[in-house]
Amino acid sequence: MPPPTAGSAPPRHPLAVLGGDVTVRVADGRLLPYANLDVAATAPCAVVAADAVTRMLPTYASVHRGAGALSQRCTLAYERARASVARFVGCRPGDQVVFTRNSTDALNLLAHAVPAGTTVLTFVGEHHANLLPWRRAVRLPLPRTPDEAVAAVDEALRRHGPALVAVTATSNVTGEVWPVAGIAQVAHRYGARVVVDAAQLAAHGPVRMAALGADYVVLSGHKLYAPFGAGVLAGRADWLDAAEPYLRGGGASAHVAVDGTVRWTGGPARHEAGTPNLAGAVALAAVCDTLTTTGWAEVTRHERWLLDRLDAGLAGVHRLALFGAGHPRTGIISFTVPGLESAEVARRLADEFGIGVRDGLFCAHPLTRHLLAAAAPAAAAPATAVRASIGAGTTAEHVDRLVAAVAQIAGR
Ligand SMILES: Cc1ncc(COP(=O)(O)O)c(C=O)c1O
Protein backbone atom coordinates (compact mmCIF):
# COMPACT_ATOMS: atom_id res chain seq x y z
CA MET A 1 0.00 0.00 0.00
CA PRO A 2 1.66 3.30 -1.04
CA PRO A 3 2.05 5.82 1.75
CA PRO A 4 -0.47 8.65 1.27
CA THR A 5 1.86 11.37 2.52
CA ALA A 6 5.07 12.51 0.94
CA GLY A 7 8.39 11.57 2.55
CA SER A 8 9.03 8.96 5.18
CA ALA A 9 9.25 11.05 8.35
CA PRO A 10 6.63 13.31 9.91
CA PRO A 11 7.40 16.95 10.70
CA ARG A 12 9.15 17.24 14.04
CA HIS A 13 7.16 17.32 17.31
CA PRO A 14 8.42 19.92 19.81
CA LEU A 15 8.42 17.41 22.71
CA ALA A 16 11.03 14.66 22.72
CA VAL A 17 9.76 11.66 24.70
CA LEU A 18 11.42 8.74 26.45
CA GLY A 19 10.99 5.14 25.35
CA GLY A 20 11.68 5.38 21.62
CA ASP A 21 14.39 2.73 21.95
CA VAL A 22 12.33 0.16 23.85
CA THR A 23 12.18 -3.22 22.16
CA VAL A 24 9.84 -6.17 22.70
CA ARG A 25 10.15 -9.79 21.66
CA VAL A 26 7.33 -11.00 19.42
CA ALA A 27 5.96 -14.50 18.89
CA ASP A 28 8.43 -15.56 16.19
CA GLY A 29 11.38 -14.60 18.41
CA ARG A 30 12.27 -11.29 16.69
CA LEU A 31 13.07 -8.25 18.79
CA LEU A 32 11.03 -5.26 17.51
CA PRO A 33 10.99 -1.61 18.47
CA TYR A 34 7.81 -1.15 20.50
CA ALA A 35 5.14 0.76 18.59
CA ASN A 36 3.17 2.60 21.25
CA LEU A 37 -0.14 3.42 19.59
CA ASP A 38 -2.07 3.78 22.85
CA VAL A 39 -0.98 7.33 23.60
CA ALA A 40 -4.57 8.47 24.28
CA ALA A 41 -4.69 6.22 27.34
CA THR A 42 -1.34 7.30 28.77
CA ALA A 43 1.34 9.21 26.88
CA PRO A 44 5.06 8.51 27.15
CA CYS A 45 7.09 10.75 29.44
CA ALA A 46 8.48 13.95 27.90
CA VAL A 47 12.22 14.44 28.32
CA VAL A 48 11.56 17.92 29.77
CA ALA A 49 9.25 16.39 32.40
CA ALA A 50 11.78 13.72 33.39
CA ASP A 51 14.59 16.30 33.49
CA ALA A 52 12.58 18.73 35.61
CA VAL A 53 11.77 16.02 38.16
CA THR A 54 15.38 14.79 38.19
CA ARG A 55 16.62 18.34 38.81
CA MET A 56 14.13 18.81 41.64
CA LEU A 57 14.73 15.50 43.46
CA PRO A 58 18.00 16.32 45.29
CA THR A 59 16.21 19.20 47.01
CA TYR A 60 12.95 17.33 47.51
CA ALA A 61 11.31 18.34 50.80
CA SER A 62 7.91 19.18 52.21
CA VAL A 63 5.63 21.66 50.43
CA HIS A 64 3.80 24.37 52.44
CA ARG A 65 4.93 22.83 55.69
CA GLY A 66 8.47 23.79 56.62
CA ALA A 67 10.70 26.77 57.35
CA GLY A 68 13.83 25.04 56.05
CA ALA A 69 15.52 26.19 52.87
CA LEU A 70 14.56 23.11 50.88
CA SER A 71 10.98 23.25 52.05
CA GLN A 72 10.85 26.87 50.95
CA ARG A 73 12.36 25.96 47.59
CA CYS A 74 9.87 23.13 47.03
CA THR A 75 6.93 25.32 48.03
CA LEU A 76 8.08 27.85 45.45
CA ALA A 77 8.45 25.12 42.80
CA TYR A 78 4.94 23.87 43.54
CA GLU A 79 3.37 27.32 43.32
CA ARG A 80 5.37 28.12 40.16
CA ALA A 81 3.98 24.92 38.67
CA ARG A 82 0.48 26.16 39.45
CA ALA A 83 1.27 29.44 37.67
CA SER A 84 2.61 27.53 34.63
CA VAL A 85 -0.60 25.54 34.37
CA ALA A 86 -2.63 28.75 34.74
CA ARG A 87 -0.69 30.26 31.80
CA PHE A 88 -1.13 27.08 29.75
CA VAL A 89 -4.92 27.09 30.05
CA GLY A 90 -5.25 30.89 30.00
CA CYS A 91 -6.75 31.41 33.45
CA ARG A 92 -8.52 34.71 34.05
CA PRO A 93 -7.69 36.87 37.07
CA GLY A 94 -9.28 35.26 40.10
CA ASP A 95 -9.43 31.76 38.60
CA GLN A 96 -8.03 28.89 40.63
CA VAL A 97 -5.82 25.99 39.62
CA VAL A 98 -6.34 23.00 41.90
CA PHE A 99 -3.95 20.06 41.54
CA THR A 100 -5.76 16.72 41.55
CA ARG A 101 -4.72 13.18 40.71
CA ASN A 102 -6.15 13.19 37.17
CA SER A 103 -9.18 14.34 35.15
CA THR A 104 -11.50 11.88 36.90
CA ASP A 105 -10.50 13.32 40.25
CA ALA A 106 -10.87 16.89 38.94
CA LEU A 107 -14.40 16.24 37.63
CA ASN A 108 -15.38 14.56 40.90
CA LEU A 109 -14.06 17.60 42.77
CA LEU A 110 -16.16 19.91 40.63
CA ALA A 111 -19.22 17.66 41.05
CA HIS A 112 -18.68 17.95 44.79
CA ALA A 113 -18.55 21.78 44.52
CA VAL A 114 -21.54 22.35 42.21
CA PRO A 115 -24.10 24.38 44.20
CA ALA A 116 -27.26 22.57 45.24
CA GLY A 117 -30.07 22.95 42.74
CA THR A 118 -27.73 23.12 39.73
CA THR A 119 -28.60 20.78 36.88
CA VAL A 120 -25.65 19.25 35.05
CA LEU A 121 -26.13 18.66 31.32
CA THR A 122 -23.90 16.11 29.62
CA PHE A 123 -24.07 14.10 26.44
CA VAL A 124 -24.41 10.37 26.77
CA GLY A 125 -21.27 9.94 24.61
CA GLU A 126 -18.96 11.37 27.24
CA HIS A 127 -16.14 9.42 28.88
CA HIS A 128 -17.43 7.89 32.13
CA ALA A 129 -15.29 10.40 34.06
CA ASN A 130 -17.60 13.11 32.73
CA LEU A 131 -20.77 11.02 32.90
CA LEU A 132 -20.81 9.39 36.31
CA PRO A 133 -19.73 11.98 38.93
CA TRP A 134 -22.70 14.34 38.44
CA ARG A 135 -25.50 14.00 40.95
CA ARG A 136 -28.33 15.94 39.30
CA ALA A 137 -27.56 15.06 35.70
CA VAL A 138 -29.53 15.29 32.49
CA ARG A 139 -27.95 13.11 29.80
CA LEU A 140 -28.58 14.41 26.30
CA PRO A 141 -28.69 11.90 23.45
CA LEU A 142 -25.81 11.61 20.99
CA PRO A 143 -25.99 14.42 18.46
CA ARG A 144 -25.45 13.59 14.79
CA THR A 145 -23.76 16.90 13.96
CA PRO A 146 -22.04 19.75 15.83
CA ASP A 147 -25.05 22.00 15.12
CA GLU A 148 -27.34 19.40 16.65
CA ALA A 149 -25.18 19.36 19.79
CA VAL A 150 -25.45 23.13 20.19
CA ALA A 151 -29.20 23.04 19.53
CA ALA A 152 -29.70 20.24 22.08
CA VAL A 153 -27.98 22.29 24.79
CA ASP A 154 -30.07 25.34 23.84
CA GLU A 155 -33.27 23.32 24.04
CA ALA A 156 -32.36 21.68 27.37
CA LEU A 157 -31.29 24.93 29.01
CA ARG A 158 -34.64 26.48 28.12
CA ARG A 159 -36.26 23.86 30.36
CA HIS A 160 -33.83 23.92 33.29
CA GLY A 161 -32.82 26.47 35.92
CA PRO A 162 -29.21 27.03 37.02
CA ALA A 163 -27.02 24.66 35.06
CA LEU A 164 -23.53 23.43 34.38
CA VAL A 165 -22.82 22.01 30.93
CA ALA A 166 -20.14 19.31 31.09
CA VAL A 167 -18.69 18.51 27.69
CA THR A 168 -15.56 16.96 26.28
CA ALA A 169 -13.30 18.91 23.92
CA THR A 170 -12.44 15.82 21.87
CA SER A 171 -13.79 12.28 22.02
CA ASN A 172 -11.56 9.59 23.44
CA VAL A 173 -13.23 7.03 21.14
CA THR A 174 -13.13 8.79 17.76
CA GLY A 175 -10.90 11.80 18.40
CA GLU A 176 -13.70 14.03 17.05
CA VAL A 177 -13.51 17.67 18.07
CA TRP A 178 -16.67 18.85 19.85
CA PRO A 179 -18.23 22.29 19.19
CA VAL A 180 -17.32 23.46 22.67
CA ALA A 181 -17.17 27.19 21.91
CA GLY A 182 -20.62 27.09 20.29
CA ILE A 183 -22.06 25.16 23.23
CA ALA A 184 -20.47 27.63 25.67
CA GLN A 185 -21.90 30.60 23.82
CA VAL A 186 -25.40 29.18 24.16
CA ALA A 187 -24.83 28.14 27.78
CA HIS A 188 -23.67 31.59 28.80
CA ARG A 189 -26.74 33.14 27.21
CA TYR A 190 -28.75 31.23 29.83
CA GLY A 191 -26.33 32.08 32.64
CA ALA A 192 -25.14 28.47 32.76
CA ARG A 193 -21.50 27.49 33.31
CA VAL A 194 -19.38 25.15 31.22
CA VAL A 195 -16.75 22.63 32.24
CA VAL A 196 -14.59 21.34 29.40
CA ASP A 197 -13.05 17.90 29.73
CA ALA A 198 -9.73 18.57 28.02
CA ALA A 199 -8.19 15.21 28.96
CA GLN A 200 -7.81 14.29 25.29
CA LEU A 201 -7.33 17.76 23.82
CA ALA A 202 -4.52 18.95 26.07
CA ALA A 203 -1.74 17.03 24.29
CA HIS A 204 -2.98 17.90 20.81
CA GLY A 205 -4.13 21.50 20.74
CA PRO A 206 -4.46 24.67 22.75
CA VAL A 207 -6.63 24.52 25.86
CA ARG A 208 -7.46 28.22 26.20
CA MET A 209 -10.34 28.95 28.53
CA ALA A 210 -11.41 32.11 26.73
CA ALA A 211 -11.40 30.56 23.25
CA LEU A 212 -13.28 27.49 24.49
CA GLY A 213 -15.69 29.61 26.52
CA ALA A 214 -14.88 27.39 29.48
CA ASP A 215 -15.66 28.32 33.07
CA TYR A 216 -13.64 25.26 34.13
CA VAL A 217 -11.24 22.90 32.40
CA VAL A 218 -9.83 19.59 33.57
CA LEU A 219 -6.83 17.69 32.28
CA SER A 220 -4.52 14.80 33.21
CA GLY A 221 -0.74 15.08 33.38
CA HIS A 222 -0.22 11.48 32.31
CA LYS A 223 -1.98 12.14 29.00
CA LEU A 224 0.16 15.27 28.50
CA TYR A 225 3.57 13.54 28.58
CA ALA A 226 3.88 14.29 32.32
CA PRO A 227 3.50 11.17 34.46
CA PHE A 228 3.89 11.22 38.26
CA GLY A 229 0.18 11.47 39.00
CA ALA A 230 -0.98 15.08 38.74
CA GLY A 231 -4.18 16.38 37.17
CA VAL A 232 -5.84 19.77 37.17
CA LEU A 233 -9.14 21.51 37.74
CA ALA A 234 -8.86 25.16 36.69
CA GLY A 235 -11.58 27.77 36.70
CA ARG A 236 -13.85 30.05 38.64
CA ALA A 237 -13.10 30.35 42.35
CA ASP A 238 -16.54 31.08 43.83
CA TRP A 239 -18.02 27.56 43.74
CA LEU A 240 -14.72 26.09 44.92
CA ASP A 241 -14.37 28.53 47.80
CA ALA A 242 -17.98 27.98 48.89
CA ALA A 243 -17.80 24.18 48.81
CA GLU A 244 -16.86 21.94 51.69
CA PRO A 245 -13.26 20.74 51.24
CA TYR A 246 -13.06 17.83 48.80
CA LEU A 247 -10.50 16.19 51.10
CA ARG A 248 -10.49 16.91 54.83
CA GLY A 249 -7.16 17.15 56.59
CA GLY A 250 -3.97 19.12 57.06
CA GLY A 251 -3.34 21.91 54.61
CA ALA A 252 -7.06 22.49 54.06
CA SER A 253 -7.67 23.52 57.66
CA ALA A 254 -6.75 27.00 58.96
CA HIS A 255 -7.84 26.38 62.57
CA VAL A 256 -9.08 23.29 64.40
CA ALA A 257 -10.57 23.65 67.89
CA VAL A 258 -10.49 20.99 70.61
CA ASP A 259 -14.19 20.36 70.08
CA GLY A 260 -13.47 19.56 66.43
CA THR A 261 -14.76 22.81 64.98
CA VAL A 262 -12.78 23.65 61.85
CA ARG A 263 -12.18 26.84 59.94
CA TRP A 264 -11.20 25.81 56.44
CA THR A 265 -8.75 27.69 54.23
CA GLY A 266 -9.80 29.28 50.95
CA GLY A 267 -7.96 29.09 47.65
CA PRO A 268 -6.68 25.88 46.04
CA ALA A 269 -5.35 24.55 49.38
CA ARG A 270 -8.98 24.11 50.50
CA HIS A 271 -9.28 21.11 48.18
CA GLU A 272 -5.69 19.84 48.34
CA ALA A 273 -5.48 18.46 51.89
CA GLY A 274 -2.49 16.23 52.60
CA THR A 275 1.06 16.56 51.32
CA PRO A 276 0.81 17.56 47.68
CA ASN A 277 2.31 15.78 44.69
CA LEU A 278 5.31 17.98 43.93
CA ALA A 279 6.85 15.67 41.32
CA GLY A 280 3.56 15.52 39.40
CA ALA A 281 3.13 19.29 39.46
CA VAL A 282 6.74 19.95 38.41
CA ALA A 283 6.54 17.45 35.55
CA LEU A 284 3.27 18.90 34.29
CA ALA A 285 4.59 22.45 34.50
CA ALA A 286 7.67 21.54 32.45
CA VAL A 287 5.49 20.27 29.60
CA CYS A 288 3.06 23.20 29.89
CA ASP A 289 5.94 25.70 29.77
CA THR A 290 7.46 24.02 26.71
CA LEU A 291 4.17 24.00 24.80
CA THR A 292 3.34 27.55 25.90
CA THR A 293 6.70 28.64 24.47
CA THR A 294 6.66 26.63 21.24
CA GLY A 295 2.98 27.04 20.43
CA TRP A 296 0.97 24.38 18.63
CA ALA A 297 1.91 24.68 14.95
CA GLU A 298 4.53 21.90 15.05
CA VAL A 299 2.30 19.62 17.12
CA THR A 300 -0.54 20.05 14.64
CA ARG A 301 1.70 19.48 11.59
CA HIS A 302 3.22 16.34 13.13
CA GLU A 303 -0.14 14.91 14.06
CA ARG A 304 -1.89 15.81 10.79
CA TRP A 305 0.86 14.12 8.78
CA LEU A 306 0.64 10.90 10.78
CA LEU A 307 -3.14 10.86 11.05
CA ASP A 308 -3.57 11.35 7.28
CA ARG A 309 -1.21 8.45 6.72
CA LEU A 310 -3.04 6.28 9.26
CA ASP A 311 -6.50 7.15 7.90
CA ALA A 312 -5.48 6.48 4.30
CA GLY A 313 -3.76 3.24 5.25
CA LEU A 314 -6.67 1.84 7.26
CA ALA A 315 -9.21 3.02 4.67
CA GLY A 316 -7.43 0.74 2.21
CA VAL A 317 -7.86 -2.33 4.40
CA HIS A 318 -10.70 -4.44 3.12
CA ARG A 319 -13.86 -4.68 5.29
CA LEU A 320 -12.62 -2.59 8.22
CA ALA A 321 -15.28 -0.49 10.04
CA LEU A 322 -13.69 2.85 10.96
CA PHE A 323 -15.09 5.24 13.58
CA GLY A 324 -14.40 8.95 13.38
CA ALA A 325 -12.51 9.15 10.08
CA GLY A 326 -13.55 12.11 7.93
CA HIS A 327 -14.37 14.42 10.86
CA PRO A 328 -12.14 17.12 12.35
CA ARG A 329 -10.31 15.26 15.09
CA THR A 330 -7.20 14.68 17.12
CA GLY A 331 -4.92 11.64 16.82
CA ILE A 332 -7.31 8.77 17.47
CA ILE A 333 -9.02 6.21 15.29
CA SER A 334 -11.15 3.29 16.41
CA PHE A 335 -12.12 0.35 14.26
CA THR A 336 -13.35 -3.20 14.15
CA VAL A 337 -12.37 -6.11 11.98
CA PRO A 338 -15.59 -7.89 11.02
CA GLY A 339 -15.68 -11.48 12.17
CA LEU A 340 -12.91 -11.01 14.74
CA GLU A 341 -13.19 -10.03 18.38
CA SER A 342 -11.27 -6.83 19.04
CA ALA A 343 -9.46 -8.39 22.02
CA GLU A 344 -8.07 -10.97 19.59
CA VAL A 345 -6.99 -8.26 17.13
CA ALA A 346 -5.25 -6.30 19.89
CA ARG A 347 -3.59 -9.43 21.25
CA ARG A 348 -2.22 -10.36 17.84
CA LEU A 349 -1.02 -6.80 17.20
CA ALA A 350 0.95 -7.05 20.45
CA ASP A 351 2.14 -10.66 20.21
CA GLU A 352 3.04 -10.81 16.52
CA PHE A 353 3.86 -7.20 15.61
CA GLY A 354 5.04 -5.46 18.81
CA ILE A 355 2.24 -2.89 18.64
CA GLY A 356 0.36 -1.56 21.67
CA VAL A 357 -3.25 -0.49 21.05
CA ARG A 358 -6.34 -0.47 23.27
CA ASP A 359 -9.38 -2.68 22.86
CA GLY A 360 -12.69 -2.49 24.68
CA LEU A 361 -15.36 0.17 25.12
CA PHE A 362 -12.87 2.84 26.23
CA CYS A 363 -14.75 3.94 29.39
CA ALA A 364 -17.34 5.43 27.05
CA HIS A 365 -19.73 2.49 26.88
CA PRO A 366 -22.83 4.22 25.48
CA LEU A 367 -20.91 5.92 22.66
CA THR A 368 -18.81 2.91 21.69
CA ARG A 369 -21.80 0.55 21.75
CA HIS A 370 -23.71 3.00 19.57
CA LEU A 371 -20.87 3.13 17.03
CA LEU A 372 -20.55 -0.66 17.01
CA ALA A 373 -24.27 -1.14 16.49
CA ALA A 374 -24.37 1.45 13.72
CA ALA A 375 -21.46 -0.21 11.89
CA ALA A 376 -22.91 -3.71 11.68
CA PRO A 377 -26.08 -5.66 12.40
CA ALA A 378 -26.13 -6.79 16.05
CA ALA A 379 -25.34 -10.39 15.23
CA ALA A 380 -22.22 -9.52 13.20
CA ALA A 381 -20.84 -6.66 15.30
CA PRO A 382 -17.85 -7.41 17.54
CA ALA A 383 -18.70 -6.57 21.15
CA THR A 384 -15.83 -4.12 21.45
CA ALA A 385 -13.55 -2.01 19.25
CA VAL A 386 -9.81 -1.43 18.74
CA ARG A 387 -8.39 2.05 19.26
CA ALA A 388 -5.09 3.34 17.86
CA SER A 389 -3.82 6.73 19.01
CA ILE A 390 -0.78 8.79 18.15
CA GLY A 391 1.26 11.62 19.61
CA ALA A 392 4.82 12.75 20.28
CA GLY A 393 7.07 9.73 19.75
CA THR A 394 4.88 8.18 17.05
CA THR A 395 6.77 7.50 13.82
CA ALA A 396 5.76 6.75 10.24
CA GLU A 397 7.11 3.24 10.74
CA HIS A 398 4.70 2.68 13.68
CA VAL A 399 1.76 3.77 11.53
CA ASP A 400 2.85 1.72 8.52
CA ARG A 401 3.44 -1.33 10.71
CA LEU A 402 -0.05 -1.04 12.19
CA VAL A 403 -1.69 -0.70 8.77
CA ALA A 404 0.22 -3.70 7.39
CA ALA A 405 -0.52 -5.77 10.50
CA VAL A 406 -4.25 -4.98 10.48
CA ALA A 407 -4.39 -5.80 6.77
CA GLN A 408 -2.73 -9.14 7.46
CA ILE A 409 -5.04 -9.93 10.40
CA ALA A 410 -8.18 -8.84 8.52
CA GLY A 411 -7.14 -10.79 5.43
CA ARG A 412 -7.13 -14.15 7.15
C1 LIG B 1 -12.05 12.30 27.39
C2 LIG B 1 -11.54 11.76 28.70
N3 LIG B 1 -11.97 12.29 29.83
C4 LIG B 1 -11.54 11.87 31.03
C5 LIG B 1 -10.65 10.83 31.12
C6 LIG B 1 -10.19 10.37 32.46
O7 LIG B 1 -8.83 10.61 32.59
P8 LIG B 1 -8.03 10.01 33.82
O9 LIG B 1 -8.09 8.52 33.67
O10 LIG B 1 -6.66 10.54 33.65
O11 LIG B 1 -8.70 10.47 35.04
C12 LIG B 1 -10.18 10.23 29.97
C13 LIG B 1 -9.25 9.09 30.04
O14 LIG B 1 -9.07 8.34 29.13
C15 LIG B 1 -10.62 10.71 28.72
O16 LIG B 1 -10.18 10.18 27.60
The mean pLDDT values, 10 residues at a time, for the chain of 412 residues are 61 96 98 98 98 98 93 97 98 97 98 97 97 96 94 96 97 96 98 98 97 98 98 98 96 95 96 97 98 97 96 93 87 94 97 98 96 79 94 97 97 72
| Ligand 1 atom having least distance to the Cα of 222 | 10
CA of 358 to the centre of ligand 1 (A): 14
Q: Nearest to residue 390, comparing CAs of 344, 324, 343, 337?
A: 324
For the entire predicted model, the pTM comes to: 0.96
**What CA–CA distance (Å, rounded) separates 48 from 148?**
41
Task: State whether 183 and 118 are in the same domain.
Answer: yes
| Ligand 1 atom having least distance to the Cα of 363 | 14
CA of 276 to the centre of ligand 1 (A): 21
- pLDDT of 2 reads 42
Pocket test for ligand 1, best of 38, 172, 232 (most atoms within 8 A of CB): 172
Task: State whether 130 and 255 are in the same domain.
Answer: yes
Task: State whether 344 and 281 are in the same domain.
Answer: no
Residue 189 carries which side chain, given as an amino acid letter?
R
Task: State whether 127 and 262 are in the same domain.
Answer: yes
Q: Cα–Cα–Cα angle for 396, 346, 205, nearest 5°? A: 50
Give ligand 1 pocket residues (Cβ under 6 A): 102-104, 127, 129-130, 168, 172, 197, 199-200, 220
Pocket test for ligand 1, best of 100, 127, 204, 329 (most atoms within 8 A of CB): 127
Task: State whether 37 and 87 are in the same domain.
Answer: no
CA of 103 to the centre of ligand 1 (A): 6
Residues with active-site annotation: 363
**What CA–CA distance (Å, rounded) separates 267 from 252?**
9
Pocket test for ligand 1, best of 38, 42, 104 (most atoms within 8 A of CB): 104
Task: State whether 109 and 257 are in the same domain.
Answer: yes
Task: State whether 66 and 40 are in the same domain.
Answer: no
17 inside domain: no
- Characterize 308-330 residue by residue with b for buried, 16 or more Cβ atoms within 10 angstroms of its Cβ, and e for exposed: ebbbbbbeebeebbbbbbeeebb
CA of 324 to the centre of ligand 1 (A): 18
Pocket test for ligand 1, best of 123, 363, 367, 387 (most atoms within 8 A of CB): 363
Contacts of 393 (CB under 8 A, 6+ apart): 13, 17, 19, 20, 36, 39, 43, 44
Task: State whether 235 and 328 are in the same domain.
Answer: no
Q: Nearest to residue 214, comparing CAs of 155, 288, 164, 175?
A: 164
- pLDDT of 381 reads 75
The last residue of one of the domains, among 224, 252, 285, is 285
* Contact predicate 11/302, CB 8 Å: yes
3 inside domain: no
| Ligand 1 atom having least distance to the Cα of 362 | 14
- pLDDT of 319 reads 85
CA of 65 to the centre of ligand 1 (A): 31
CA of 129 to the centre of ligand 1 (A): 6
Name the domain count of the chain. 2
Residue located nearest, by CA, to atom 7 of ligand 1: 103
184 inside domain: yes
CA of 178 to the centre of ligand 1 (A): 15
The last residue of one of the domains, among 285, 311, 346, is 285
15 inside domain: no
* Contact predicate 74/59, CB 8 Å: yes
12 inside domain: no
Task: State whether 220 and 366 are in the same domain.
Answer: no
Instruction: Give residue 391's domain range.
Output: 23-44+296-411
Task: State whether 213 and 333 are in the same domain.
Answer: no
**264 to 170, 232, 244, 256, 318: CA distances (angstroms):** 36, 21, 8, 9, 61
| Ligand 1 atom having least distance to the Cα of 129 | 4
- Characterize 394-410 residue by residue with b for buried, 16 or more Cβ atoms within 10 angstroms of its Cβ, and e for exposed: bbbebbbbbbebbbebb
